[in-house]
Every structure is written in structure tokens, then in C-alpha cells.
Amino acid sequence: MPWAFALALLCMAAAARADIAFLMEEPYGGFGSVNPTGHGALYFNHVCAESPTELRMCRAGERGVVVSRYHKVGGYDWLAVPLVPYLYAVDRVTDIPSSADVVVRDRLRDEYRRAHLMEIAPDAVTKTREAATPRGDWTQLVGESYDRSIYGFQVETTRKQDERFIAYYNDRRNVSHFNLFFNNCADFSRSVLNFYFPHAVHRGLVADLGMTTPKQVARTLTQYARKNPELPFTVFVIPQVPGKIPRSHRVDGVVESVVRSKKYVVPLAVFYPEFTAVLGATYLTEGRFSPPKDAPAVMLPGESAWSMVSRRTLASVDAHTGVDVEDEHGAGLAPRLGARGGVLDDHRVNLERGEGDGVPGRLGRTAE
């Protein structure tokens, strides 16, 4: 019976399904220490980029796109970058380095910019009239995994929802009105998620003093999923690439960043003890949220929300029945049934095919 149930779960996950994943990205560097709210972006597995400013449905073999709002990059409100370049600044999975330092990161980013992003981030000109790498936030478009770890909060969507999203955002005026407090990257993600799931995500009126932060988006999306258990929902983490680049920091909300930081909370406690007590109470009642500690670590998002939920259910059934679902090589039933030919690395990325482990319905497979 458990075997039949396992096969049924895998068959149910076999149909290609669309997904949207909110990416809560950890802060890094000096600005990340001052403003630890991080960055927010959206990954669509069935939506792809005809260009950084034009969306379309994915074709066979394409992995999807990451869309977000940035500060003063090409004058656009949002920009779209394919998944692999967004995370690793390369076009092919086989070109992803196993480790990186600042030199490797900057070289890969600039090579990708020169090949694909010259209209958005053209060369700077030195005093001697030589071409040079430009400064600015365009670096957040590619190679994000070199600088920070990223948590994905993944929800199943439909083809019809994706087509509506593409039509709406391709037709609307794409001009930047970025504002750190009221029109930031998290506000963009909030608007898009509410476009898919009305009233799912809202601002942090108390814990974030009226702002939208990446942590607030992740928190309210998780709450929405709990209230709608029929909606497949899961969480994954994309670890920062190993190497000599400084590690990123944990994501905090606005009140949380004050309460948890000695350089802020100690002076406040001395001069404004009542106000500090209110902040502490606000954090304890409204501001605490952390991604699950058992979130699977992946190099690339490799499965749909439904497939991951099915695997989790299968593992729970196995734990309760005591039935061994591993084959003679110690590989779990689900990976064995889902695997395709080729050599897999530690993250189950097929190095020969340059794709995921072949489980039907995985993120980035094909459009429905």
C-alpha cells in the first residue's frame, strides 16, 4: 500500500505545473549592516524574458526568469533576468564555479553585462576615453548567489495566471519611481503576488512601521499559504557560493533590526526606555519570523511546489509505516523514479544535460 501511495503521489506531480517563488535575499556589505532588510525578487518557472523588459511564456528547456525592482538601473521600474545568470552570472549550469572570490565574481558579472546588458548598463568612459565597467546597482541583476544566501517561498500558479501577468506587465509603462520607503523591491513583489493571489500580502503596519520589507512579504505569504492548505507551498534555500567573499547577514524587519542591534537599542533604552519597551513588545508579538530550518538547500530551484510537497508527504508516510522506500543503492524511491540519464552533482543538477534531476513538474522545466 505505501508503494502504491508513493507512485500515486509521483504521478500526480508529473504534470507540468507553473510556480512563483518569492526570493527573500540576505543583506550583505556595509549597506546591509545599516539596512538589514535585504532584497526581494520573484522567480517564475514558466515565464521567461524575451529581453530584460519584455516577458513571454517559456519554451522547452528554459528555466524561467527572476523579476524585480531596482534602484536607478536603466530608468526602468522592473527588469527580468534568466534564472541561471541571475544567480551565477553565467548562461550554462556547467559554467557555474564551485567557489568564487571577488575577482571571479566581478569578471563573470562584467562578461555577462557585455554580452547581454549593454543597453541597460553601458560601459563607463574613463578620463582617457577608455571603456570601463560602470558603477551602480546593475550588479544586483546577475550573480546574486556570490554575495548572499537566498530563501525561496514557492507557490503553485496556473498558466492562465502567468499569461495575465505577462500581458499586464508588458503593456504597462515600465518607468522607475523607486522609493526606499513606499515603492521598493518588496513593494513590487507584494503587488505581483497580490495580482496572482488577491490580498495575500500586505505591508508591515506595526512591525515595519508601514513599510513593505522582504521579510514581511515572506511572512504574510506563508500565513496565506497556511490559510489555504489546498495551495501547494514550500520553502527552499539557495546557499551563498563558497569562497573568500564575505558572508551575507540574516534578514531583519524594521523594528527587529533596531531591537536586535546593540548600537541602536542600548542608546534608546537609556534615553527612551518606554519607547524601547514598546519596540520590544512589537517585535515579540508582530515581528518574529524565520524560514524553516529544514528548508532544502539547492543550487537551482529544482522541483515544483507540488512535487516537493508530494515528496514531503511520502517521507511522512514512510516514517509512520516503517517501510523502507530506498533501493539497493540507497537512493530514495522518489529520486530513483524521477532520475534521468547523466551525471548529477551534489545539488542533483545534471551536468551532462545542464538541467535539474528530471523530476516531472520541476521548476524551470517547460511551459505547460
Q: Which long-range contacts (CB under 8 A, 24 or more apart) does 135-140 make?
A: 136/72, 136/73, 137/70, 137/71, 137/72, 137/73, 138/70, 138/73, 138/74, 138/113, 139/109, 140/39, 140/68, 140/70, 140/73
Query: With a threshold of 0.75, does the pTM exceed it?
Result: yes
| Of 27-31, 110-114, 158-162, 320-324, minimum mean pLDDT range | 320-324
Closest listed residue to residue 97, CA positions, set 237, 235, 244? 244
Highest-pLDDT range among 14-23, 89-98, 271-280, 358-367: 89-98
Highest-pLDDT range among 138-142, 261-265, 267-271: 138-142
Structural contact between residues 73 and 79, judged by C-beta atoms closer than 8 angstroms: yes
Please indicate, yes or no, if residue 363 is contained in any of the structural domains: no
Please indicate, yes or no, if residue 343 is contained in any of the structural domains: no
Domain that holds residue 106: 2-255+294-338
Please indicate, yes or no, if residue 355 is contained in any of the structural domains: no
Reported confidence tier of residue 198, pLDDT bands at 50, 70, 90? very high
Please indicate, yes or no, if residue 351 is contained in any of the structural domains: no
Is pLDDT at 319 greater than 60 in this prediction? no
Q: What average pLDDT does this structure show over 238-262?
A: 81
Please indicate, yes or no, if residue 176 is contained in any of the structural domains: yes
Structural contact between residues 158 and 18, judged by C-beta atoms closer than 8 angstroms: yes
Please indicate, yes or no, if residue 238 is contained in any of the structural domains: yes
Please indicate, yes or no, if residue 353 is contained in any of the structural domains: no
pLDDT at 312: 64
Please indicate, yes or no, if residue 356 is contained in any of the structural domains: no
Residue type, 20: I
Is pLDDT at 239 greater than 90 in this prediction? yes
Per-residue CA distances from 187 to 180, 192, 237, 260 (Å) = 9, 9, 22, 24
Distance in angstroms (rounded) separating the CA atoms of residues 334 and 87: 27
Across the chain, the runs of DSSP E, i.e. the strands, are 18-25, 39-44, 47-51, 54-57, 65-68, 79-82, 124-125, 131-132, 150-157, 233-238
Of the chain, the percentage scoring pLDDT greater than 70 comes to: 68
Is pLDDT at 324 greater than 50 in this prediction? no
Residue type, 293: K
* Residue 278 grid cell: 514598546
| Average pLDDT of the chain, as a whole number | 79
Closest listed residue to residue 166, CA positions, set 50, 262, 72, 47? 47
* Dihedral sign (CA 356, 40, 191, 54): negative
Structural contact between residues 89 and 100, judged by C-beta atoms closer than 8 angstroms: no
pLDDT at 203: 86
Total number of domains constituting the chain: 1
Per-residue CA distances from 162 to 17, 18, 20, 173, 279 (Å) = 11, 8, 9, 19, 40
Per-residue CA distances from 51 to 56, 197, 314 (Å) = 9, 26, 40
